[in-house]
Chains A and B, each alone.
Chain A
Amino acid sequence: MIFLNYFLENYNKILRASYQHFCLFIISLIIAIIIGVILSIIATEEGKEKLGKVIVSITGAAQAVPSIAVIALVFIYVGIGVIPAIISLIIYSLVPIIFNATSGILSVPQSIIEAGKGMGFTRNQILWKIKIPIAIPVIMGGIRSAATIIIGTAVVASVIGGGGLGDLIFIGLRLNKPEALFAGAFSSALMAIIIDIILARAEKIITPKGLKIKK
């Protein structure tokens, strides 16, 4: 009952925090996708397959780094505020995006690329018409985990002034108000679930039909 009351009384506050949280999320995700996919494309160019494999192992291991460590480092070097929060979110979410995009592009069978080259595809055509469409399900998998990670980590990033739902949680902690804490946690979890459902749909839509067929 106390939770529901808190919700109703602080409706505006929660909505504002959620909106802030969403802005942090969407800005970080878009920038992380752009940077991550571009880096992955560069790392998987023909003749650089070794570099690509090294990147896959590094990003694979980097997934074990705790988010708080990244946030602390950004705090030390960049300072406090929304921008440092976004920077730390981007850095942290780049890991799954690059890991998936790189391994996805590298796993496109060599025979398909060879056939494309032999038929006279240019380098760009091989990238955009062969490699990326075939790797799209794996790339989208990376983006989906990045999205979930950003929403969760953005809560923590409020300690360096990111704002958003994390503020509610930390206020709840400091003032010993479990209802505020609950409101923040519940809203961010709900947001993560909704975003994941949307992205799952998007993945389904942009995955080429021929890749979804089961024999």
Chain B
Amino acid sequence: MIELINVTKKFGEKVAVNNLNLTIEKGKLTMLIGPSGCGKTTTMRMINRLTRCDEGDIKLSGISVCEINPVELRRGIGYVIQEIGLFPHFTVFDNIATVPRLLKWDEKKIKKRVEELLDIVTLNSNFAYKYPLQLSGGERQRVGLARSLGADPEVLLMDEPFGAIDPINRLKLQDSFLEIQEEIKKTIVFVTHDINEAIKLGDKIVIMKDGSLVQCDDAANILANPANKFVENLLGKDRSIKALSLKKTKNFIAAGDLVTVSEEETKEKILKKMQEKKEEIAFVLDKYNKLMGRYWLEKSKNNEQVEINFDGDPIFTERNNSLKETLSIMLESGEKILPVVNRRKVLIGIVKLNDIFEEVSK
């Protein structure tokens, strides 16, 4: 838990943060949002003392950060910035091992930890010996996240970590980031200026303006009851559609079982299986349950016979996609049923268009 108590910071005459009181809950993802110059980054940087606070106090699990040696403090807090700042002269392995080495872990333990982290951020283990210059933007961002988790810190500070990534990859990174947070349950302070990102990721959203707190609540409450005009403007006119974006696809997975088949099975066998279960769609999975393809039944136009079709690159949605995103995938592709997968493309279930409509009309 992080407590900010009457915190004030001035840069010369300008008040960057004004008498801020804020409690950041343990294990939750707290988004700091506001227009540029509202003091959100300054607030974050005061937590690991990259910026000193002038007045007030900041407590980490009850201990004032001013009483901890800043170097020790920072080694215990994960830190990710927009430019990532990977060390170009270090391999991916050495980058991720940075803080464990500062803390003088033994090399065996470090190796195990790095492998674990590469797996968490879904990077293949042969990335370990690549250099940052050889990575794409999204891969660098993943390495940056893995590096910040190096020594398994309790608290993570993230300053617009996805800000420099193109919109499509940003969505993907957000999805896998959410899934990772479900597993690691860190206390995260996340600075952003993108309201959609705040709504999508945040357990709690802290809205700031001119160095002061405007509203602090969970996304649903803020969307339902914006504190004032400023918050309303920040949320935008499409508040009701944004509310749909709060609902996660994984909570709308349809009941009942699916027909799943392996890659080796013959068409006749699959057809029989589908007719037995009275399903029109069957999913092809590999031995890791990864989605590899899709069979579907269709009545032939010429005669009344049923035909079986195969698609080796089926359209899918990710479990942490919001209903809004899943809905737009359905509308774009014309599918009424979509397979739901996790970040490793393992099939989890299906989601149906009708269920989403029901949710909208509620």
Contact = CB atoms under 8 A, between A and B. Distances in A.
A140 to B, nearest CB: 14
Interface in B79-107: 79, 81, 83-91, 98-99, 102
A213 B133 contact: yes
Interface in B105-155: 131-134, 147-148
Contacts of B75: 119-120
Interface residues of B, number: 29
Contact of B73 (A120, A133, A134, A210): A120
A111 B157 CA distance: 15
A119 B99 contact: yes
B224 interface: no
A134 B88 contact: yes
Nearest to B103: A120
Given A210-B131, A210-B133, A109 B83 contact: yes
A209 interface: yes
Contact of B134 (A115, A121, A208, A215): A215
A111 B74 contact: no
A111 B89 contact: no
Nearest to B73: A120
B88 A120 contact: no
Nearest to B102: A120
Contacts of B131: 209-210, 213
Contacts of A111: 81, 83-85
Contacts of B134: 213, 215
Interface string A126-147: 0000100110000000000000
Interface string A176-215: 0000000000000000000000000000000011110101
Contacts of B85: 109, 111-116
B315 to A, nearest CB: 32
Contacts of B50: 114, 117-118
A122 interface: yes
Contacts of B74: 117-120
Say whether chain B's binding surface is mostly helix, strand, loop, or mixed.
mixed
A116 B148 CA distance: 11
B255 interface: no
B81 A215 contact: no
B168 interface: no
A22 to B, nearest CB: 33
A113 B79 CA distance: 13
Nearest to B92: A210
Interface in A82-116: 109, 111-116
Interface residues on A, range: 20 to 34
Interface centre among B79, B84, B87 (most CB of A within 10 A): B87
Interface string B144-182: 000110000000010000000000000000000000000
B72 interface: yes
A46 to B, nearest CB: 12
A215 B102 contact: no
Contacts of A120: 71-76, 99, 102
A107 to B, nearest CB: 12
A130 B87 contact: yes
Contact of B89 (A117, A119, A208): A208
Contacts of A125: 102
Interface string A70-88: 0000000000000000000
B128 to A, nearest CB: 13
A130 B88 CA distance: 9
Contacts of B91: 210
A118 B79 contact: yes
B73 A215 contact: no
Contacts of A113: 85
Nearest to B75: A120
Interface string A15-52: 00000000000000000000000000000000000000
30 contacts: A109-B85, A111-B81, A111-B85, A112-B85, A112-B87, A114-B50, A114-B83, A114-B85, A115-B81, A115-B84, A116-B85, A116-B87, A118-B74, A118-B79, A120-B71, A120-B74, A120-B102, A130-B87, A134-B88, A208-B88, A209-B131, A210-B87, A210-B89, A210-B91, A210-B131, A210-B132, A211-B88, A213-B131, A213-B134, A215-B134
Interface of B: 48, 50, 71-76, 79, 81, 83-91, 98-99, 102, 131-134, 147-148, 157
Given A133-B89, A210-B91, A211-B89, 7 more contacts: A115-B83, A117-B50, A119-B79, A119-B99, A121-B102, A122-B71, A211-B133
